[in-house]
Structure 1
Amino acid sequence: MLLFVFLIIPFFFAFYLSFTNTRLISPIPPRFVGFSNYVRMLGDDLFGKALLNNFYFVAIVVPLQTIFALFLAILVNQKIKGSTTFRTIYFLPTVTTMVVVAVIWTFLYHPEGTINAILSFITFGKWEPIDLLNTERIAFPAIMLLSIWQGVGFQMLIFLAGLQEIPESLYEAATIDGANKWKQFIYITLPQLKNTSIFVIISTTILAFKLFDQVYIMTSGGPNYSTYTVMLHIYNQGFRMQNVGYASSLTVIFFLIILGFSLIQRIFLREEREVF
């Protein structure tokens, strides 16, 4: 019932609006415009730029965050003193709202902020402070760094759960056979984490495509649209330009992209279950 109310109904309503010229506030009643909004999308340079930025973000953040999360999971899975404390520290950014995180990192990236101060200190004053979020070649990588830091704790916990499901007897047998830690990781850990890795990669990809909060708060898509994303484009068209019809068509396409990755996830997981 909740799925019907919060997902299916909004999607079909957005699908209906995408064929109209509905505006947010207008005395003129909406009218049917056919596929005009979708045709307009094909010639929308900003949408193309936003989509490329989304793919760029996904291509960088997803593999780095996945690798880093696996490394942290292996680290905190060791039977060492203080592992629970480290686990909590790594997960803390995930439970902090992105709005708060984005505001804090905006101050860190400021020309007079902590990051510039550290760079100046380690270079003995040779580093000239710059506005990292207003430098075109740096702004998006800066947001990527923030996003990886903020989200890695969630993926770490998923990997940690997967690691704890691996039978200890496999490692004991490998040790007896003379396998070192690296070979145990390659031939035991990675194969046993296949399902977990697929889930982490697909879910992280979906979340990465929904990039909005940090861009909206920190750069508003600038400088020169270098951090502009599809979600920000939808927001601008729907609320700033009040073009609800066109924003709805963008939303439908975005939803289909998310659905496509969800279906890929289901296919991969089904294949893995059949193998094992």
Structure 2
Amino acid sequence: MSSSCFDVEVVDKVGHIRLNRPDALNSMVREFWTELPEIVRGLDARGDVRAIVVSSTGRHFCSGMDLGVFTSGDTAITPGDADEMGRVRARLRQTALMLQESFTSFERVRMPVLAAIQGGCIGGAVDMVTAADMRYASADAFFVIQEINIGMTADVGTLQRLPKIIPDGVARELAYTGRRMSAERALEVGLINEIFPTHEELVAGVLDIAREIASKSPLAIWGTKEMLLYSRDHSVTDGLNHIATWQTGMFQPSDMVETFTAKAEGREPSFPDLLPAPDSF
């Protein structure tokens, strides 16, 4: 996959997406927003990718939206004089929904997405990592809801997802003040799962976790992700009904048989990949 903002590779059934503009602090330029969901959907479509790791290069994970995005094109703050404002605002809403979908793509794919965060995770980067299944950080990582510091309301997922991950009052304090949250505090409140001493150890450790996930039945992993996301936004009763329906259609006894057989034979189980996702009828 060719990209101006990312490096992508697949090793041991783990897709690894790396932000690759370290000299620009991995800021989110226009291409970022179209390339990321295309890459994520492309990895999902293959069928053989069972986990995705999103990491970065350089000193900081991501500095958020590139300022140039606010000064040109459909997201320009000042539209042309000839543009009728109702139509401009309707188009701006479409743009916001498109940006949101770039990160919602993490939730739509069939495998877990793990974020490995070093240095600054600022503004739109917080929107991005809150859409991941799990987050891990290096000791120097910090998080900032930067939008409030530049006079706007965060609009690409932070305010919707963060209160589902950390205590509501903590999320509100970060959103209202724009203060930095350290890696230690992020671990304390549950935003991240683990702190690694260095960037290198972070990436290696998260890839190890992803490989462990990839060793499980991909159908069982898909079902687990589906249920966790559904339960986040629905009642317990609705969630139980959903898993009952899922198991009726997707429960696969052969994967359980393989697990028991492999254990008896003293080997690791081997499961078939998921089928490639359909792209047409």
Does the TM-score normalized on the shorter chain lie above 0.5? no
Higher relative contact order (CA 8 A, sep 6+): 1
TM-score (norm 2): 0.25
Pick the structure with more helix per residue: 1
